[in-house]
Chain A
Amino acid sequence: MKLIDLAAIDHEEKSAADIIDAVCSELGFDYASYATFNPVKGDVQGYANYPDEWKIHYGTQGFHKFDPTLYQSVLSIAPVDWGRFNHDDKFHTVFRDAHDFGITTRGLSVPVRGPYGECGLLNVTRDCSDDEWDKLKRHVMGDLQLAAVHAHDTVMQSGLLGKALYLPALSTREKEILQWAAVGKSQQDIGDILSISHRTVEVHMRSGREKLGALTTPQAIGRAVSLGLIAPG
């Protein structure tokens, strides 16, 4: 089983690395990484912005074969605070060394499950006090969920097969709502037009954005238009 640094081999697919960097700078984490398991070979592949020395040490020690932030976290549907891991030999082996490279046990793993049952993980860490950590977690949990699914989809959509499988399947409602947004209607307006609550509009909008891999509604409209899913407003 190999550990593959995607940033080092695939220069066209920088965007997952960009997401990792953005998570750190915008949400206030020291380091972040995204990892997924290759379903065929079982390799662990991903991006990380940890110091290079730690990445090399991690790979040469083969930590990716038993790191609890990978193998424990995929078993959860909710983000896992590293405080929840059992403090067993595997945990100590990874985190004792991590400590020497300035990486603490204060972190979170956000598991993503894809439509074909494949799993991905966004890991973030920050060295700070208990209070600060609790406050940070509450504040950024939603954004982390979004970042995790974006990083995952970006990696999965690289490669032709992935692109074909991941062609967004928008529902009639999602298309309808994006179409109204494309002609400049607010969420409240769209709710009134379609006789549904603005909360329902928001749910379809959010789902549509994520299917299109868009962070904002304007971006989603742009992609939906370019894919021919809706008409230009």
Chain B
Amino acid sequence: MIIVIDGMNQHKFKDILDEMYQLRARVFGDRLGWDVTIQDGREIDRFDTLNPAHVVSLNDEGNVVGCMRLLQTTGPHMLADVFNAILDGEPPVRSAQIWEATRFCVDTKKLGRGRGENSVSYVTSEVMIGSFEYAKSAGVLDSIAVIDPVMNRVLQRSGNAPYDYLGTAKPMGKVVAMAALMDCSDERISGIRDYAGIAHDVFLTDEQALQLFAKSNVKPQPKPANFDHKPLSQMEKYFVEQMSAATTQEEVNAVLRLIEELSDKFTPEQKIALMRSPRALAHGA
């Protein structure tokens, strides 16, 4: 299912965006080898700070499995400022009724082959339906998408072939980037829907998206301080209990100070484990 995250609602979806930036780092940095900036395992560029619209696909478990970023071609966008090599020195198109789609990717690790609901093909179609329907309702007629030849073939096979390309394909990291034109028309949308067998409304409300995402976020409880897999000593058990019972930051600090004072009773590994893992417990409480 699709949630559109833009500048107006992004404050509600920080965690979803964070997961999306990680997916983009895996795809564009690790797999495709594009020249992108990755920090702390997240791929974020300056266009993300311009309040673009992110079309994000969540699977039934609430994980981010696909995304695409939309920008107006009237303002700063990637074909004008970054991918202009593709245009062979020509100025980019500019129209209120043409949007640019970039950073289109799906999670090939979480998704399988074939055409079922958890397949690359299904999520690709879902993201495209979401973007085209969102664009169409905004009065947009065409989109220009920066994609690689693999994505291009996926589109051609899924009832969603670009009707033309601008400029010429150019090498970009390990692969080639190209600018594909697609109309945001009823014909195209119904073509993709027929191919993917998606008849339902793909959009989630903000509340539904938050609920679905929360499903993926039930983290297993961190185990008490036995990262070294040895049975806990009496003293370690005591500290774990103290830390679990702490309700304020002062109490947590008091326990930490006590651990510090008794450091000579522990191996360095035991100490690190104690300092780290009970704090996670206390933080969760």
* Residues of chain A having any CB pair with chain B under 8 Å: 72-80, 84, 112-117, 138, 141-146, 148-149, 152, 169-174, 196-197, 199-200, 203-204, 206-207, 210-211
Surface stretch bound by A, among B20-28, B110-118, B136-144: B136-144
Of A115, A144, A170, A200, the residue contacting B163 (CB under 8 A) is A200
Interchain CA distance A206-B139 in the complex, whole Å:
14
- Cβ-closest 9 pairs across A and B: A113-B75, A75-B7, A141-B139, A78-B138, A207-B93, A169-B91, A142-B139, A145-B96, A171-B90
**B164 near A: Cβ within 8 Å?**
yes
Interchain CA distance A200-B94 in the complex, whole Å:
14
B: number of interface residues (CB 8 Å): 38
Chain B residues positioned under 8 Å from A74 (CB to CB):
7, 51
Contact of B98 with A75 in the complex, beta carbons under 8 Å = no
Chain A residues positioned under 8 Å from B75 (CB to CB):
112-115, 117
Question: Chain B at the A interface: mostly helix, strand, loop or mixed?
Answer: loop
Question: B184 CB to closest chain A CB, in angstroms?
Answer: 11
Closest to A205 in B: B95
* Residues of chain B having any CB pair with chain A under 8 Å: 6-8, 50-53, 70-76, 80, 87, 90-99, 134-135, 137-142, 163-164, 181, 183
Contact of A112 with B74 in the complex, beta carbons under 8 Å = yes
Contact of B181 with A113 in the complex, beta carbons under 8 Å = no
Query: Contacts A77-B71, A117-B76, A199-B183: A171 and B97 contacting too (C-beta < 8 A)?
Result: no
Identify which of B74, B97, B142 gathers the most chain A CB atoms within 10 Å of its CB.
B74
Contact of A113 with B141 in the complex, beta carbons under 8 Å = no
Identify which of B87, B93, B163 gathers the most chain A CB atoms within 10 Å of its CB.
B93
Question: B123 CB to closest chain A CB, in angstroms?
Answer: 22
Contact of A210 with B72 in the complex, beta carbons under 8 Å = no
Of A78, A84, A204, A210, the residue contacting B134 (CB under 8 A) is A78
Query: Contacts A77-B51, A77-B53, A117-B50: A145 and B98 contacting too (C-beta < 8 A)?
Result: no
Interchain CA distance A190-B177 in the complex, whole Å:
28
Closest to A72 in B: B8
Interchain CA distance A126-B21 in the complex, whole Å:
40
Contact of B91 with A112 in the complex, beta carbons under 8 Å = no
Chain B residues positioned under 8 Å from A149 (CB to CB):
74, 95-96
Contact of A200 with B52 in the complex, beta carbons under 8 Å = no
